[in-house]
């Protein structure tokens, strides 16, 4: 299935109207054969898997297909029936479009009438949904006595009075009944009814606050004795440190150590602050502490009359900061940078990158290239430091460097200054822009724009030669020819092996360009390729090679081989004439002798041979005339 | 605080308790409407919801035998008395009433469950069947505005507050469903708050003391936004900056939508795994806001990401190479902590305002920016607006204007009918303050006093 999809996708990329093209038709047949097997494959960032086993496919297009599906948040793809040609084309076109935030690809497929392929989106991290009953109101399903207690507890003062009365106004008995009722009702609430548990704790805690002191002391003492029990722990945890510390001086002798123990456990084991422990140990005058707090607050504001920004003497640093407040996009960049640093969940990272890509695209569409550049540079500079983030970053850049966005960036590029934000943005996007620009170059008909694109490609190749080279294996000769030109101009010697490999390209136009670029990059080291090309089957290539001979040799030390070439029947007359021109520039005796010999040929000459003889004669005569003068 | 003070002498079952009963009835009616909308009528869940509403209706009607609940200009009234808390917290129910053309429902004791069921169905659907038992009448006695006792139009401030709440509910629902939301709408709501803060600064701070537990995050976010805008105004930020700040403050906790109820509502200290979940909410919120924000709105995402980072950068999430926290983030941190501490959360009781200020003061240089704490304390005063204080003469007062030296206060006492009576304002010596009280201890919510025209006028003059 993957092979068929990849082949079809490649075909569509080459031929916008793929119907009738053999690879396309073969793919449709293959998919039709598979359609009754309910094939489903899972999508990973870099490839595919099935039943958790990675699928190893050598076709490069498969990897690209996986990345596109991943960017659209697709978890799996299934073939449900034999696809029609139109469906398959629509599937790839949607896949190639920019993912829309919040938009499900399957939804788009449905709208596009694609039924043969079904995709499944990746689930969100948290898929919990509160049950309808809880949304309606937690009272539903709770024991009536729980609801009743909560209702009564809504007026805690009244509830406290009621409980005191029921206890016969005896503090010890009150404490027993209070704690028993609290425990009983707490246990009545279902474990997953968090709202109910919260309300029960609130009821009893708030009611406690309205008790007379002696009732509070009795109750808190009993709660402390049972502090190891979870619900009493929750009860005690509700109070602020000073609230419990206020009771401490009046606790019975045996109870104070329990409070101290609770304070220590709360601080150490459950991450609470050590305030209560320090308050208990210092034996504070808490009433005095209250005044001290007020005093400290007063100190904070002392000396400040009503101030305004013009008179922010106490806040000089703030004044400066207020004057320089930034509301701009640097805040967004800062947030994106931070989020990508801290986020560990891969699907969230993916979503962040989609947001990032949409920001870049949006800015470009608004011609806000500085803004787009800020987004790109803000990501590149910092986030690359995050370990193992590069594959995902690649996905993000792939999202940005779409043909549509690149089209906007390269529009009127020839008129765009060298250091403009637009050019810097293109450079920043770097290797990820290469593929789309290669495509643009392939379809561009306007000569001036083509030149501008080539110049852009040259700039990119200077930075990202590795990303450029794979495209030299493109099946379109004109793409390869342009790339050969670009590689030669970019001046990166890393391109030499690839160019050597292209020296035997099927298309002569490519071979010619490759030769020129090889010579530009390798100089004399390209001599073997040039000599081979002199004998090329195509006359244009021959001529190009001959013209390059002086560049790959020191002085004229190549002319010794020319007579031998002149005898080669595989060379065209035009090529041989060119060789004679080269001979004519060489004033060595060897060259002179070769010319002389050619010039003196007589009978039995074909038209071409005669042309060569005449050219040789002309060269000799010129030489003699120069010598005479 | 734990003085065991019982204001028995001042406690009456009167207007305040009836308002609470009415609120509970409306809340249970809302649940019943949801239940009958989701389940068949004979489903146990739907039946229980309706029966619960009937019990609540019994409590609100038992004293007088018959009450009228009206909706006038976006607010609920019990007979002719405004229900400010219900109007804010049950905004969607107000809208549901409006949509079905209900301006009043008359309840006659004892309200039958079948009538309640029909009312719930009527509101939740296109049904034209009105309650048939006669214990509930629809639009029988709608009050005109002129007849209403507390005929104060819901102020712009309250409207802005309610709009911000509704907006947050929508944003949270969208974020929970992984859908996009419009940050422009959020900015509009913040502009409403900003206008209110600029026009009624004292009343705004009083309203920022509005507390609720069930929708804690929403109210907390709006309060934090009001506090942040007020602080920003004090520092001289311009309107555009205040909107950016207010938006960041309003959305700073939007990432909490991802937290399970077992964490949000856990009534105790969280364990490590629970804390690990909580610590994700800044980045969750930042990502959601970043996805929704347009150019110039990204500051809100930064506030969401940084509001737990701490001044000493030892908070969370830890970002390597991060520069200074944004000023807005540091401001929201201060306001966030203040409001959180003065609100009852599932794991902690509420604390009086000046205790919250104490925490801020003790945390300068570590958790909080020293200069911002100073500015915040100056703005709030020793005893912030709305603080309830017990004086040495045992009187209870509420602070209208903090003042750094002599706060302006009003005394609160209770009439024979259990209604709060307000004295003329006077200045007090802070040394006469014995303790600070929580609203539950006094039996009054300072924010609801905003409905008293006299209070509004005093705040305007303060």
Structure confidence by residue, pLDDT tens digits, B282-310: 999 999 899 888 878 899 999 999 999 99
What contacts B68, CB < 8 A, 6 or more positions away?
A: B77, B78, B79, B104, B105, B106, B107, B140, B141, B143
pLDDT of residue B148: 66
Q: Is the pLDDT of residue B426 over 60?
A: yes
Sequence-distant (≥ 6) Cβ neighbours of residue A440 within 8 angstroms: A403, A406, A407, A410, A453
User: At residue A55, does pLDDT exceed 70?
Assistant: yes
Q: Please indicate if any CB of chain B lies within 8 Å of the CB of A344.
A: no
Q: What is the mean pLDDT of residues A164-192?
A: 92
CA distance B286 to chain A (A): 7
Nearest CA-CA partner of B194 in B156, B221, B167:
B156
Mean pLDDT over residues B212-233, rounded? 87
- Give me the pLDDT at residue A457, please: 85
Q: If contacts are CB pairs under 8 Å, which of residues 356-415 in chain B contact chain A?
A: 357-358, 361, 371-375, 377-378, 381-382, 404
Tokens for A557, please give them. 């030390």
Contact B299 A327 (CB under 8 A): yes
Nearest Cα to Cα of residue A226 among A265, A289, A179, A263? A179
Hey, is the C-beta of A309 within 8 angstroms of any chain B C-beta?
yes
B320 CB within 8 Å of a chain A CB: yes
- CB neighbours of residue A165 within 10 Å: 10
DSSP per-residue string spanning A355-398: HHHHHHHHHHHTT-HHHHHHHHHHHHHHHTTSTT-HHHHHHHHH
Using a CB-CB cut-off of 8 Å, the residues of chain A touching B361 are: 293, 296-297, 300
Show residues of chain A in contact with B236, CB under 8 Å.
308-310, 312, 322
Distances (CA, A) of A466 to A381, A516, B257, B370: 20, 20, 45, 53
Rounded Cα distance between B5 and A295, Å, is 25
Compute the distance between CA of residue A298 and CA of residue A320 in angstroms, rounded to an integer. Answer: 25
**Span B380-394, mean pLDDT?**
87
Question: Does the pLDDT of residue B274 top 90, yes or no?
Answer: no
Q: Characterize the bridge pairing of strands A117-121 and A48-50.
A: unpaired
A198 vs B265, B318, B349: nearest CB? B265
Contact check, Cβ <8 Å, B7/A321:
no
Identity of the residue in A270, A298, A336 whose CB atom sits nearest the CB atom of B290: A336
Most confident of A276-280, A516-520, A547-551, B136-140: A516-520
pLDDT(A86) > 80: yes
pLDDT at residue A11, rounded to an integer:
86
Q: Which residue has the higher pLDDT, A351 or B15?
A: A351
- The number of residues in chain A equals 629
Q: How close B103 comes to chain A (CA, Å)?
A: 24
User: DSSP readout, A44-99?
Assistant: -SSSEEETTEEE----HHHHHHHHHHHHTTEEEEEE-SPPPHHHHHHHHHHHHSPP
Mean pLDDT of A496-500: 95
Q: Which range, A51-65, A153-167, A259-273, A479-493, is most confident?
A: A479-493
Neighbours of A544 (CB within 10 A): 23
Selection from A149-158, A513-522, A589-598 with the highest mean pLDDT = A513-522
Q: What is the pLDDT of residue A516?
A: 96
CB-CB under 8 Å, B299 with A331: yes
B236 and A155 within 8 Å at the Cβ level: the answer is no
Cα gap B462→B157, rounded to integer Å:
17
Q: Give φ, ψ of A564 to 5 degrees.
A: -60, -40
Is A337 in CB contact (< 8 Å) with chain B? yes
B115: closest CA of chain A, how far (Å): 19
**Among chain B residues, CA nearest to A211:** B4
**What are the residues whose beta carbons fall under 8 Å from the beta carbon of A227, sequence distance 6 or more?**
A233, A236, A258, A261, A262, A265
Q: Is the peptide bond before A191 cis (omega within 30 degrees of 0)?
A: no
Q: Which of B316, B327, B194, B303 is nearest to B249 (CA)?
A: B303
pLDDT tens digits, residue range B1-19? 322 322 322 333 356 567 7
> How many Å lie between the alpha carbon of A71 and the closest alpha carbon of chain B?
16
> What contacts B1, CB < 8 A, 6 or more positions away?
A209, A242, A243, A246, B352, B435, B436, B437, B438
Name the residue facing B236 among A132, A239, A309 (closest C-beta). A309
pLDDT computed for residue B129 by the predictor:
77
User: Are A351 and B52 inside 8 Å of each other by CB?
Assistant: no
- Residues of chain B numbered 166-185 and touching chain A (CB < 8 Å): 178-180
CA A117 to chain centre: 26
Length of chain B equals 462
Residues A402-413 have a mean pLDDT of: 79
Statement: residue B84 has pLDDT above 90: no
Q: How far apart are CA B343 and CA B219, in angstroms?
A: 10
**pLDDT above 70: percentage of residues in chain A:** 85
Q: How confident is the model at residue A133 (pLDDT cuts 50, 70, 90)?
A: very low
Given this model, what pLDDT does residue A200 score?
92
The predicted structure's pLDDT at residue B140: 82
**CB pair distance less than 8 Å for A140 and B31:** yes
Would an 8 Å CB–CB cutoff place B462 in contact with chain A? no
Instruction: For A359-375, write each residue's pLDDT tens digit.
Output: 898 899 888 999 999 99
Residue B217 has pLDDT above 80, yes or no: yes
Q: What is the pLDDT of residue A388?
A: 60
Contact indicator for A473, A497 with CB cutoff of 8 Å = no
Torsion region of B426: left, alpha or beta (phi above 0 gives left; psi -120 to 50 gives alpha): beta
Residue A514: name the closest of A497, A14, A554 by CA: A497
| Interchain contact, B241 vs A325, CB within 8 Å | yes
The Cα B290–Cα B185 span in angstroms is 15
The DSSP-derived string for B279-310 is TTHHHHHHHHHHHH--TT-THHHHHHHHTTS-
CA within 13 Å, CB half, A159: 24
As a whole number of angstroms, the distance between CA A462 and CA A478 comes to 21
Question: Cβ–Cβ of B8/A317 closer than 8 Å?
Answer: no
Separation between Cα atoms, residue A372 and residue B308, nearest integer Å? 29
Give the residue from B5, B92, B231, B235 with the most A CB atoms within 10 Å of its CB, the best one to mutate: B235
Closest CA to A339 of A382, A377, A399: A382
Whose tokens are 């809340």? That residue is: B27
Q: Is A382 on the interface with B (CB under 8 A)?
A: yes
The highest-confidence range among A398-402, B195-199, B206-210, by mean pLDDT, is B195-199
Categorize the per-residue pLDDT at B266 as very low, low, confident or very high, splitting at 50, 70 and 90.
Answer: confident
- Per CB-CB distance under 8 Å, the chain A contacts of B264 are 194
ipTM: 0.80
What average pLDDT does this structure show over A415-441? Answer: 82
- Whether the CB of B130 is below 8 Å from some CB of chain A: the reply is no
Specify the DSSP class assigned to residue B451: G
In chain A, which residue's Cα lies nearest the Cα of B371?
Answer: A315
Q: How far, rounded to the nearest angstrom, does the alpha carbon of residue B14 sit from its chain's CA centroid?
A: 23
Average pLDDT over chain A, rounded to an integer: 82
User: A358-376 burial string, b = 16+ CB within 10 Å, else e?
Assistant: bbbbebbeeebbebbbbbb
Does B218 score more than 70 pLDDT?
yes
Residue A195 forms contact with B (CB below 8 Å): yes
Cβ within 8 Å, pair B319-A338: yes
Give the integer Cα–Cα distance in Å for A159 and A168. Answer: 15
Looking at chain B, the number of H-run helices and the number of E-run strands are 19, 11
Report for A126-140, A532-546, B405-419: range of highest mean pLDDT: A532-546
Is the model's pLDDT at A127 over the cut of 60?
no
What is the C-alpha separation between A435 and A438, in angstroms, rounded?
A: 5
Mean pLDDT confidence for A308-331: 74
Residues 132-151 of B with CB under 8 A from A: none
Calpha distance A627→A615 (Å, rounded): 18
Is B327 within 8 Å of A266 when comparing Cβ atoms? no
A233-247, A309-323, A572-586, B83-97: least confidently modelled range:
A309-323
Name the 3-class secondary structure at B32: helix
A144-153 and A156-166 are packed helices; what angle lies between their axes, rounded to 10 degrees?
A: 110
- Residues A143-168 have a mean pLDDT of 87
Of the candidates B39, B44, B51, the residue with the CA atom closest to the CA atom of residue B114:
B51
Q: Which of B2, B54, B302 to mutate to test the interface with A (most CBs of A within 10 A)?
A: B2
Per-residue DSSP letter, B70: E
Beta carbons of B319 and A342 less than 8 angstroms apart: yes
In this predicted structure, which of A118-132, B98-112, B424-438 has the lowest mean pLDDT? A118-132
A201: contact with B, CB 8 A cutoff: yes
CA dist A123 and B93 (Å) reads 33
Number of A–B residue contacts, CB under 8 Å: 262
User: For the packed helices B183-199 and B216-234, what is the interaxial angle rounded to 10 degrees?
Assistant: 60
Give me the half-sphere count of Cα atoms (radius 13 Å) on the Cβ side of residue A287.
Answer: 6
Percent pLDDT > 90 in chain A is 24
Q: What's the confidence (pLDDT) of residue A331?
A: 94
A154, B100, B164, B166, B192 from B91: Cα distances, Å: 21, 15, 11, 7, 17
> Which one of B374, B376, B402 would you mutate to disrupt binding with A, by most A Cβ within 10 Å of its Cβ?
B374
Backbone angles phi, psi at A604, to 5 degrees: 80, 20
pLDDT in tens, B125-179: 877 777 888 899 988 877 776 666 554 544 677 778 878 888 888 888 788 777 7
Within 8 A of A336 by CB-CB distance, chain B residues are 290
φ, ψ of residue A372 in degrees (nearest 5): -60, -40
Give the relative orientation of helices B216-234 and B239-251 as an angle to the nearest 10 degrees. Answer: 160
| Residue B302 touches chain A, beta carbons under 8 Å | yes
């Amino acid at each position: 299935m993957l092979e068929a999809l990849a082949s079809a996708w490649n075909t569509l990329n080459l031929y916008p109207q793929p119907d009738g093209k053999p690879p396309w038709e073969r793919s449709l047949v293959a998919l039709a054969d598979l359609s009754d097997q309910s094939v489903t494959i899972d999508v990973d960032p870099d490839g595919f898997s099935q039943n958790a086993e990675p699928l190893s496919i050598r076709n490069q297009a498969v990897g690209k297909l996986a990345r596109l599906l991943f960017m659209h948040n697709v978890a799996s793809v299934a073939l449900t029936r034999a696809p029609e040609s139109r469906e398959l084309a629509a599937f790839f076109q949607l896949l190639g479009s920019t993912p829309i935030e919040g938009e499900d690809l399957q939804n788009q497929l449905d709208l596009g009438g694609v039924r043969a392929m079904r995709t499944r989106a990746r689930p969100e991290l948290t898929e919990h949904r509160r049950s309808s009953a809880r949304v309606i109101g937690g009272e539903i399903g709770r024991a009536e006595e729980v609801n009743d207690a909560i209702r009564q507890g809504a007026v805690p003062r009244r509830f406290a009075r009621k409980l005191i009365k029921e206890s016969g106004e005896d503090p010890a008995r009150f404490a027993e009944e209070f704690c028993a009722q609290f425990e009983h009702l707490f246990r009545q609430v279902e474990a997953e009814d968090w709202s109910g548990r919260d309300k029960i704790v609130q009821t009893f805690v708030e009611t406690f606050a309205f008790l007379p002191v002696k009732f509070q002391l009795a109750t808190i003492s009993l709660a402390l004795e049972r502090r190891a029990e979870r619900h009493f722990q929750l009860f005690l945890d509700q109070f602020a440190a000073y609230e419990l510390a206020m009771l401490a001086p009046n606790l019975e002798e045996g109870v104070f150590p329990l409070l101290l123990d609770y304070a220590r456990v709360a601080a150490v084991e459950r991450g609470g602050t050590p305030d209560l422990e320090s308050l208990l140990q210092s034996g504070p005058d808490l009433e005095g502490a209250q005044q001290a707090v007020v005093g400290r607050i007063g100190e904070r504001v002392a000396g400040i009359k009503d101030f305004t920004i013009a008179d922010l003497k106490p806040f000089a640093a703030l004044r400066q900061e207020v004057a320089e407040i930034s509301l701009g996009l640097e805040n967004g960049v800062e947030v994106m940078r931070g989020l990508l640093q801290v986020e560990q969940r891969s699907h969230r990272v993916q979503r962040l990158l989609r947001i990032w890509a949409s920001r870049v695209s949006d800015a470009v569409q608004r011609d806000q290239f500085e803004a787009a550049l800020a987004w790109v540079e803000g990501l590149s500079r910092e986030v690359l430091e995050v370990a193992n983030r590069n594959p995902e970053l690649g996905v993000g850049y792939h999202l940005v460097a779409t043909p549509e966005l690149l089209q906007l960036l390269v529009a009127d590029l020839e008129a765009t200054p060298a250091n403009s934000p637009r050019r810097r943005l293109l450079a920043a996007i770097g290797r990820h822009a290469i593929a789309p620009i290669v495509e643009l170059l392939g379809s561009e008909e306007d000569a001036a724009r083509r030149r501008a694109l080539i110049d852009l490609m040259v700039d990119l190749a200077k930075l990202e030669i590795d990303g450029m080279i794979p495209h030299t294996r493109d099946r379109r000769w004109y793409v390869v020819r342009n790339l050969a030109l670009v590689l030669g101009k970019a001046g990166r010697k890393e391109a030499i092996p690839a160019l050597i490999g292209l020296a035997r390209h099927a298309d002569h136009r490519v071979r010619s360009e490759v030769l020129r670029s090889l010579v530009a990059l390798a100089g004399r080291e390209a001599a073997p390729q040039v000599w081979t090309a002199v004998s090329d089957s195509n006359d244009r290539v021959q001529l190009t090679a001959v013209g390059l001979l002086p560049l790959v040799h020191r002085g004229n030390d190549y002319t010794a081989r020319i007579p031998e070439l002149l005898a080669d029947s595989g060379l065209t007359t035009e090529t041989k004439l060119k060789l004679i021109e080269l001979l004519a520039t060489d004033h060595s005796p060897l060259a002179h002798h070769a010319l002389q010999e050619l010039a003196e040929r007589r009978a039995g000459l074909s038209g071409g041979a005669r042309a060569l003889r005449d050219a040789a004669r002309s060269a000799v005569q010129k030489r003699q005339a120069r010598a005479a003068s | 605080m734990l003085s065991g003070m019982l204001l028995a002498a001042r406690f009456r079952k009167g207007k305040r308790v009836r308002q609470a009963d009415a609120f509970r009835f409306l809340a249970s009616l809302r649940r019943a409407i949801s239940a009958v909308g989701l389940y068949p009528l004979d489903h146990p869940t739907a039946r229980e919801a309706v029966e619960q509403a009937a019990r609540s209706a019994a409590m609100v009607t038992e004293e007088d035998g018959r009450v009228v609940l009206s909706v006038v200009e976006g607010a609920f009234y019990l007979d002719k008395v405004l229900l400010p808390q219900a109007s804010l917290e049950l905004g969607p129910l107000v809208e549901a009433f409006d949509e079905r053309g209900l301006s009043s429902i008359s309840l006659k004791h004892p309200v039958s469950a079948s009538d309640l069921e029909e009312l719930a169905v009527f509101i939740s659907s296109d049904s034209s069947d009105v309650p048939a038992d006669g214990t509930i009448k629809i639009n029988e006695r709608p009050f005109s505005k002129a007849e209403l006792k507390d005929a104060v139009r819901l102020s712009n401030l309250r409207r802005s507050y309610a709009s911000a709440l509704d907006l947050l509910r929508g944003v949270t629902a969208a974020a929970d469903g992984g859908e996009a939301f419009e940050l422009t709408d959020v900015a509009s709501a913040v502009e409403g708050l900003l206008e209110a803060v600029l026009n009624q600064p004292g009343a705004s701070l009083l309203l920022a003391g509005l507390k609720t537990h069930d929708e804690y995050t929403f109210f907390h976010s709006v309060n934090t936004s009001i506090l942040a805008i007020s602080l920003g105004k004090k520092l001289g930020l311009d309107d555009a900056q205040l909107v950016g700040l207010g938006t960041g403050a309003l959305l700073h906790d939007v990432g909490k939508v991802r937290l399970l109820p077992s964490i949000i509502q856990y009534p105790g200290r969280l364990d490590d795994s629970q804390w690990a979940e909580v610590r994700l909410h800044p980045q969750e919120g930042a990502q959601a806001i970043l996805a929704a924000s347009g150019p110039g709105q990204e500051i809100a995402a930064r506030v969401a990401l940084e509001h737990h980072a701490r001044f000493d950068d030892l908070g969370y999430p830890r970002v390597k190479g991060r520069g200074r926290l944004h000023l807005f983030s540091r401001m929201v941190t201060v306001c966030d902590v203040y409001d959180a501490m003065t609100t009852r959360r599932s794991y902690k009781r509420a604390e009086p305002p000046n205790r919250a200020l104490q925490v801020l003061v003790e945390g300068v240089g570590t958790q909080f920016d020293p200069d911002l704490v100073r500015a915040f304390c100056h703005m709030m005063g020793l005893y912030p607006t709305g603080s309830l204080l017990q004086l040495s003469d045992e009187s209870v007062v509420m602070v209208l204007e903090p003042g750094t030296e002599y706060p302006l206060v009003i005394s609160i006492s209770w009439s024979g009918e259990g209604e709060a009576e307000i004295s003329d304002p006077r200045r007090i010596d802070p040394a006469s303050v014995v303790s600070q009280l929580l609203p539950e201890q006094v039996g009054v919510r300072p924010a609801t006093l905003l409905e008293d025209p006299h209070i509004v006028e005093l705040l305007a003059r303060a």
